[in-house]
Amino acid sequence: MLSNILTLLRTVTLEPSMMLYYTALAMTAVNGQNLLLQKACHPGDTPPSSTTCQDEVHAQQWTTQIQTWKQIIVLFGPVFFVLFAGPWSDNHGKRRKPLLYL
């Protein structure tokens, strides 16, 4: 039983795993945007599903601003790491072998 599982794990390539990951990521992104838009339309309460937003244009603008700043904040960490941590480790003798050769 255990050998069958290990054999299965060795034969799985990267492509199916990446496809599943990005499919799940796309589905959660759409749901997250819809939830954020609904919270911008009706702050502080849970509206019935048949209720429409009275000021949807303003709510969409607010949601767009939130999504833009969210992306900037999320991507700042890796950019900071690439710009400063890599050269710092090179100067201080902590050079590691690259994980991927191009």
pLDDT higher than 60, residue 102: no
Q: How confident is the model at residue 100 (pLDDT cuts 50, 70, 90)?
A: low
Q: What is the pLDDT of residues 8-61, one digit of tens each?
A: 878 877 888 889 999 999 999 889 888 888 888 888 887 777 778 888 899 899
- Which residues, in sequence order, are CB contacts of 60 under 8 Å at separation 6+? 37, 40
Which pLDDT score is estimated for 96?
67
Which pLDDT score is estimated for 52?
80
Which pLDDT score is estimated for 5?
87
Spell out the domain ranges in the chain: 2-42+54-91
Q: Which residue has the tokens 């100067």?
A: 91
The more confident residue out of 42 and 66 is 66
Which pLDDT score is estimated for 90?
75
Burial of 38 from C-beta contacts in 10 A (0-12 / 13-18 / 19+): middle
